[in-house]
């Protein structure tokens, strides 16, 4: 009998990277459904193309760099593709999203070492890249769902999103209920707060993420917009600020990206707060109405440093002496 000798532990949980990514995709499903309802089937096609492009790029990178091309199986590229599409308007041309995907997977993720090694969130990196070169594709929104045909070119009926209205210090016309269910202009995956919250609940239930980063992020945005409100209704200003734009999508799905966020609990709080503060600062003082992308990308750079900056809690060593 040939016995295998290996070091303990000799059993492992059946948790895998693939299962975690699958949970993220499941959590994104409600927002996808909402997007199809409000923006039409083109939202789905754009997302599917984006996911496919990311998977293709990931496989290419795996082959080119002779890294175990397990990367396709782990579904992380699919998540990147979906998130990138979710952060674009439904009218975005397909070729633009594909360029964004290629940049995200090849440059932001692949060239720095692949899964888990990247400093910046690939989806946001890809979005920032297309925003730099094709700003119109990213910032012009079509409100009219039906006009955004699934195939062929799209007539962009430029219309304004709640955030664009708010950048003129005016509250949007959409009701708070519309804001909550997503009956507003905006990027594919960001409009339906309800759907995003359902996804958040799933992620918490499955233990994929903790509440810390999203809560700190949304909390910071809420508090700041409540204090520094514009117009005459602080509470309404705060609610529109939280639900209009990418805060929810960013806080729940982007800022919690494992590779680019801290793992130490206290650092996660600090990181979430940082994202929130930067989002509001960029919205108020930047050239774009939205600040989520850059806020998270900036905080990405500090993720590892924040982990290290937090005091290490050692077993048996209490703050302020003995005790519980």
Partner 1 sequence: MKQLFGGGIHPDGHKDMSRGGAAVPVPAPETVVIPLCQHIGSACKPLVAVGDAVLMGQKIGDGEGRCSPVHATVSGEVTAIEEREVPGGAKVLSVVIRNDFKDARAEAKGAEDYMSLSAAEVAAMVREAGVVGMGGAAFPTNSKIASNEGKTETVLINACECEPYITSDDTIMCTCPGDVIGGARLLAKALKARKSIIAIEDNKPEAIAALRAEAGEDELVEIRVLPTRYPQGAKKQLILAVTGREVAPGARSGALFNVTTTANIFRAVTKGQPLLEKIVTVTGDGANAPQNVLVRIGTSFADVIKAAGGIAEDTKQVIAGGPMMGKAVDTLDVPVVKGTNSILCLTKACDAAADPVCIRCGKCASVCPMYLQPLYLYRYAKAGDKEMLNEYYLNDCMECGCCSFVCPGKLPLTETFVQAKQLLKGGK
**How many other C-beta atoms lie within 10 A of the C-beta of residue 77?**
30
Report whether 171 contacts 231 (CB < 8 A): yes
Cα atoms in the Cβ-side hemisphere of radius 13 Å centred on 305: 6
Report whether 254 contacts 296 (CB < 8 A): yes
Of 181, 200, 294, 202, give the one whose Cα is nearest residue 253: 200
Binding partner 1 (rule: CB under 8 A), the pick from 149, 227, 305, 313 is: 313
Told to check if 115 binds partner 1 by CB under 8 A, we report yes
Binding partner 1 (rule: CB under 8 A), the pick from 168, 285, 314, 319 is: 314
Told to check if 302 binds partner 1 by CB under 8 A, we report no
Provide the minimum distance between the beta carbon of 266 and partner 1 in the complex, in angstroms, as a whole number: 12
Of 282, 287, 298, 193, give the one whose Cα is nearest residue 245: 193
Q: Which of residues 43-72 bind partner 1 (CB under 8 A)?
A: 67-68, 70
Provide the minimum distance between the beta carbon of 317 and partner 1 in the complex, in angstroms, as a whole number: 7
Q: Distance (Å, rounded) from C-alpha 20 to C-alpha 229?
A: 38
Phi-psi region of 24 (alpha: psi -120 to 50; beta: other; left: phi over 0): alpha
Provide the minimum distance between the beta carbon of 254 and partner 1 in the complex, in angstroms, as a whole number: 15
Binding partner 1 (rule: CB under 8 A), the pick from 47, 76, 161, 225 is: 76
Q: Distance (Å, rounded) from C-alpha 138 to C-alpha 43?
A: 14
Q: Which of residues 117-146 bind partner 1 (CB under 8 A)?
A: none
Which whole-number Å values give the CA distances from 288 to 94, 130, 136, 283, in the listed order?
23, 14, 12, 7
Provide the minimum distance between the beta carbon of 5 and partner 1 in the complex, in angstroms, as a whole number: 5
Told to check if 20 binds partner 1 by CB under 8 A, we report yes
Q: Distance (Å, rounded) from C-alpha 170 to C-alpha 317?
A: 53
Q: Distance (Å, rounded) from C-alpha 58 to C-alpha 18?
A: 15
Which whole-number Å values give the CA distances from 279 to 33, 141, 221, 259, 308, in the listed order?
27, 20, 7, 20, 24
Binding partner 1 (rule: CB under 8 A), the pick from 112, 116, 150, 155 is: 116
Q: Which stretch binds partner 1 (CB under 8 A): 155-163, 234-242, 257-265, 293-301?
A: 257-265
Told to check if 77 binds partner 1 by CB under 8 A, we report no
Q: CB under 8 Å to 81, separation ≥6 — which residues?
A: 47, 50, 51, 52, 53, 54, 55, 101, 123
Q: How many residues bind partner 1 (CB under 8 A)?
A: 39
Q: Which of residues 149-208 bind partner 1 (CB under 8 A)?
A: none
Q: Which stretch binds partner 1 (CB under 8 A): 11-19, 125-133, 188-196, 233-241?
A: 11-19
Q: Distance (Å, rounded) from C-alpha 43 to C-alpha 188?
A: 6
Binding partner 1 (rule: CB under 8 A), the pick from 82, 192, 259, 306 is: 259
Told to check if 319 binds partner 1 by CB under 8 A, we report no
Told to check if 13 binds partner 1 by CB under 8 A, we report yes
- 76 vs 87, beta carbon nearer partner 1: 76
Binding partner 1 (rule: CB under 8 A), the pick from 110, 114, 126, 245 is: 114
- 16 vs 233, beta carbon nearer partner 1: 16
Q: Which positions lie near partner 1, rule CB under 8 A?
A: 1, 3-13, 15-17, 19-20, 67-68, 70, 76, 114-116, 258-259, 261, 263-264, 307, 312-318, 322, 324
């Amino acid at each position: 009998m040939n016995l295998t000798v290996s070091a303990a532990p000799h059993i492992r949980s059946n948790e895998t990277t693939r299962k975690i990514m699958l949970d993220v995709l499941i959590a994104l499903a409600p927002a996808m459904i909402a997007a199809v309802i409000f923006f039409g089937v083109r939202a789905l096609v754009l997302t599917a193309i984006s996911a496919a492009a990311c998977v293709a790029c990931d496989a290419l990178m795996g082959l080119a760099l002779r890294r175990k091309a397990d990367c396709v199986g782990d579904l992380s590229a699919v998540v990147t593709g979906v998130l990138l599409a979710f952060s674009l308007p439904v009218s975005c041309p397909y070729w633009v999203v594909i360029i964004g995907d290629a940049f995200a997977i090849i440059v932001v993720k692949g060239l720095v070492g692949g899964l888990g090694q990247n400093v910046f969130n690939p989806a946001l990196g890809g979005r920032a890249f297309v925003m730099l070169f094709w700003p119109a594709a990213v910032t012009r929104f079509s409100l009219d769902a039906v006009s955004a045909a699934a195939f062929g070119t799209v007539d962009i009926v430029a219309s304004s999103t709640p955030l664009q209205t708010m950048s003129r210090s005016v509250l949007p016309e959409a009701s708070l209920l519309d804001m909550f269910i997503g009956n507003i202009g905006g990027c594919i995956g960001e409009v339906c707060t309800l759907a995003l919250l359902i996804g958040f609940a799933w992620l918490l239930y499955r233990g994929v993420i903790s509440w810390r980063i999203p809560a700190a992020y949304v909390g910071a945005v809420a508090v700041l917009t409540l204090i520094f409100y514009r117009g005459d209704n602080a509470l309404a200003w705060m609610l529109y600020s939280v639900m209009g734009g990418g805060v929810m999508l960013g806080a729940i799905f982007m800022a919690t990206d494992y590779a680019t966020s801290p793992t130490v609990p206290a650092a996660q709080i600090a990181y979430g707060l940082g994202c929130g503060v930067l989002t509001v600062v960029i919205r108020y003082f930047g050239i774009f109405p939205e600040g989520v992308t850059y806020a998270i990308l900036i905080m990405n750079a500090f993720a590892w440093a924040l982990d290290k900056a937090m005091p290490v809690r050692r077993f048996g060593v209490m703050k302020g002496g003995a005790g519980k």
